[in-house]
Structures are given as structure tokens and as C-alpha cells.
Amino acid sequence: MTDLPEGGPERRAAITAAISSQTGIDEPMIERLVKTFYARIQVHPVLGPIFAAKIENWDEHIDKLCAFWSSVALMTGRYHGHPMRAHLRLPIAATHFDQWLALFEATAREVCPPQAAEHFLDRARRIADSFEMGLATTRGEIFSPRHSRAVTRAS
């Protein structure tokens, strides 16, 4: 990726194209993954009620999540929100992150080709660690990352 333009929209487009070329991820794949995963979340016995208590319009939320995952997986910059802030007051703990990741991993491996699934999973683990540590910090606790590859390789 050393041949990238210096900045701006052209650079972002080049980065997105490179990631897509390397992983096979595109917007339709992101949409399939997000819709499949969150359909499963909605019926999950533990996670479903947490989401149901906060999400009033699932179609709108799915659109936001597709933009989020587009930004995370392809660096498109489509998402312009504050996901940590949205999760701070939720009644969630370490076990919820573990269940979210297990369901996300199963879904990604089912919906995506292997290289794309690994790309999504690497980011999902980092997100889980970031959210878990952010929530712990606001609660006056200290957590170390538990999910990201750097931690699992060192273990």
C-alpha cells in the first residue's frame, strides 16, 4: 500500500479497494453478515433482551451497523457515531462479550469466506476488548484485553 495517494477521499478509496481485494469483503457481504448476525442476536436468550430494551427500530439500527462495519472492515468512513457512549449504560459484563463474540464468530465463519471472516473476527475481538475496557474504566475497574489476537498469541 505504498503507492497510495497522500490524503483525502482518494487515499481512503485506495485503502478500501486494497482491503477489499485482499479479503473479498464488499458492502453486500457486510450487509449479509450484519443482518444474519443481528437476526440471531434478537432471538438469543441472553443478548436478545439487552438489545430489545434499547433498539426501537431494527431497520434503522441495521443500517447504522452496516455503516459501522463498513468503516471498521473496509475503512470507508461511512460511520459517524459514538458506539462506546451508546453502550456505557447497558447492563453488560464479561460474559456478554464472550457470548457476543462466540455468536459473531460462528456467523462470520458461516457467511464469509475464510480470509474475510478472519478480517472481521480480528476487528470484532478488538472492539470487544475496547468496549469491555471502556465500560470497566467508567465503572472504576481495570481490565486487560482478553479477546484480541495480540493477547491470545501471547497466552
Which domains are delineated in the chain?
Answer: 24-154 (1.10.490.10)
Grid cell at residue 62: 441495521
Give the dihedral sign, CA 56/49/108/149.
positive
**Rounded to whole angstroms, how far apart are CA atoms 25 and 119?**
9
Confidence of residue 152 (pLDDT cuts 50, 70, 90): very low
Look at residues 56, 141, 142, 41 and name the one whose alpha carbon lies nearest to residue 101.
41
pLDDT tens across 99-147, in order?
A: 999 999 999 999 999 999 999 999 999 999 998 888 888 878 876 778 8
Do the beta carbons of residue 105 and residue 38 sit within 8 Å? no
Phi–psi pair at 93, nearest 5 degrees: -140, -175
pLDDT tens across 30-52, in order?
A: 999 999 999 999 999 999 999 99
pLDDT tens across 1-30, in order?
A: 456 556 788 888 999 999 999 999 999 999
